[in-house]
Amino acid sequence: MSVKKFVVGCFDDEKVLFPAVTKVRKAGYKLQDVYTPFPVHGLDKAMGLRDTSLHTAGFIFGLIGTTTAVTFMSWVFTKDWPVNIGGKPHFALPAWIPITFELTVLCAAVGMVLTFCYICQLAPFIKKHHFHPRATDDLFVMVIECTSKTNEHELKNFLDAAGAIESNIQVVEDGWWIGRYDRDQQLYKEPIVA
């Protein structure tokens, strides 16, 4: 966690947003993120983000579920306490498919959701700085991190020229902390330069 300076540009149309993203990246600015009210198809590619490998995690969790189910049931029925059930063999694989399947799905789903929450830092009482309240309504909020070399006013003009309907400079806490949303979201009192 650290306090950083960001230049924020808000767009209200995807058609403007995409070229703006390209321009910002071409100019070499450090694009922190674009906050959008809905998943904008292709924006991750345009921003140069790599594909997520969340589904691989899901596959591994699923395998864990499968293995757990099969080994546990075979241990119970062939080693720990073999019971004759309807004259079926102790290793009654066809009868174990349903539970094996359910456990596979359960582990994959629960594991993936937890992984997702962990890597995106999502949980109750987690608080992050929100650059614009309308980012969950109708604005695409582009946030650029200022480095030591960045001239923020020039950058702000650059964003305005690229079609931002609103832009400002914010000095805020980066990252997440434990907090409540009914409290003021501004941790640092620096005035927002409009």
Partner 1 sequence: MIKQHFEASAGYRKWTLGLLAVGGLILVLGFIFLGLSKDEHSQTRFWAVLLQNSTYFLLVVNASMFFICVTCLALGGWQMAFRRVPEAISTLVPVFSGIALVIFLYLIFGPNHHIYHWTDKGHIEHDSILKGKSGFLNPWFFLIWSIVAMGMWSWAGAKMRQLSSEADERPMENDEAKNFHRRNTVWAAIFTVAFGLTVGSTIPWFWLMSIDAHWYSTMYSWYTFASTFVSGMALIALFVVYLKNRDYLEWVNQEHLQDLGKFMFAFTIFWTYLWYSQFMLIWYANIPEETIYFKVRMHGPYRAIFFLNLILNFVLPFLLLMTRGSKRNYTVMTFLAILIVFGHWLDFYQMVMPGALGEHYSLGWFEFGILALYAGLIMHFVGKALAKKPLVSVNHPLLKESIIHHA
Partner 2 sequence: MSLTKYESQLREPLVDGKKTYHDVTVDIVHTIEAKPTRLWYIGFYVAVALLLFGVFSVYMEVVYGIGQWNVNRTIGWGWDITNFVWWVGIGHAGTLISAILLLFRQGWRTGVNRAAEAMTIFAVMCAGQFPIFHMGRVWMAFFTMPYPNTRGPLWPNFNSPLMWDVFAISTYFTVSLLFWYSGLIPDLATVRDRAKTKLRKYLYGIAAFGWTGSTKHWQRHESLSLVLAGLSTPLVLSVHTIVSFDFATSVVPGWHTTIFPPYFVAGAIFSGFAMVQTLMLIMRKVMGLQDYITLGHIEAMNKVIVLTGSIVGCAYLTELFMAWYSMVPYEQAAFFKFRIAGPYGWSYWLMMTCNVISPQLFWFRKLRRNIAFTFIMSIVVNIGMWFERFVIIVTSLYRDYLPSSWSPYYRPTIWEVGFYLGTFGLFFTCFFLFAKYFPVIAIAEIKAVLKTSGESYKDEMAPLEVMSTEKFAHEMLHHDEHHREGDVHVVHHDKH
- Which residues contact partner 1 by CB under 8 A? 41, 59, 86-88, 94-95, 97
Q: How many residues does the chain have?
A: 194
Min dist CB 89 to partner 1, Å, is 11
Residue 162 C-beta-side C-alpha neighbours within 13 Å: 26
Q: Where are the beta strands (DSSP E) in 12-133?
A: 30-35, 126-128
Min dist CB 143 to partner 2, Å, is 9
Q: Choose from partner 1, partner 2, none: what does 81 bind? Cβ within 5-8 Å by kind.
A: partner 2
Q: Choose from partner 2, partner 1, none: what does 87 bind? Cβ within 5-8 Å by kind.
A: partner 1
Q: Choose from partner 1, partner 2, none: what does 47 bind? Cβ within 5-8 Å by kind.
A: partner 2
Number of helices followed by number of strands (H, E) in the chain: 5, 6
From 33, 15, 111, 30, select the one nearest 66 (Cα to Cα): 111
Min dist CB 74 to partner 2, Å, is 10
